Structure 1
Amino acid sequence: MPLPKIAEARELSDDQLVEEITAVKKQLFQLRLQKATRQLEKPHQFKHARHRLSQLLTVEGERKRAAIQAEQEQK
């Protein structure tokens, strides 16, 4: 399974982005729980989830910075 592309994250709306971030954080929690109880079968999922979370947080940060910059330009 290839790593997700950041272009997919950029296509999401703001609400979808927040929901996706929450979902990935929950997934990481579940993976850590499975690892602690020795039930984790696919350890590569950690890498995929962390990669996806970083992409989503990057897009969120870009949008926030763009909104702040647009607000400052209006003044």
Structure 2
Amino acid sequence: MARLIEGLRALSDEELVGRLAEARQESFNLRFQHATGRLESFSRLGELRKEIARINTLLREREIEAAEEMEKSRG
């Protein structure tokens, strides 16, 4: 898991937003398959939820860091 987070931390904000959109789309597709009874791998849904949460956490951390830097630069 640490490698996954390190890999995500290495990505730029734009790349993270792209990964987030892809993960959300895949999650939607898997939920749709689950509703229609065609889903084979239920564990992938949980993995995607965690990945989405990790990406959102990293984006929020960066947002907070940027706000703190703005405060420091203002004086």
TM-score by length of 1: 0.92
CA–CA separation in structure 1 for the residues paired with 2:5 and 2:25: 20
Q: How does 1:41-60 map to 2 (within 5 A)?
A: 41-60=40-59
> Deviation at 1:70?
0.1
Identity of aligned residues (%): 27
CA–CA separation in structure 1 for the residues paired with 2:27 and 2:57: 17
Q: How does 1:34-45 map to 2 (within 5 A)?
A: 34-45=33-44
Q: Which residue of 1 aligns with 2:15?
A: 16
Matched residue pairs, number?
A: 73
Superposed CA RMSD in Å reads 1.3
Q: Which residue of 1 aligns with 2:70?
A: 71
SS of residue matched to 1:5: helix
> Deviation at 1:27?
0.7
Consecutive unaligned residues in structure 1, runs of 5 or more = none
Letter matched to residue 58 of structure 1:
T
Superposed structure 1 runs of 4+ greater than 2 Å apart? none
Determine which structure has the larger helix proportion and give its number.
2
Consecutive unaligned residues in structure 2, runs of 5 or more = none
TM-score by length of 2: 0.92
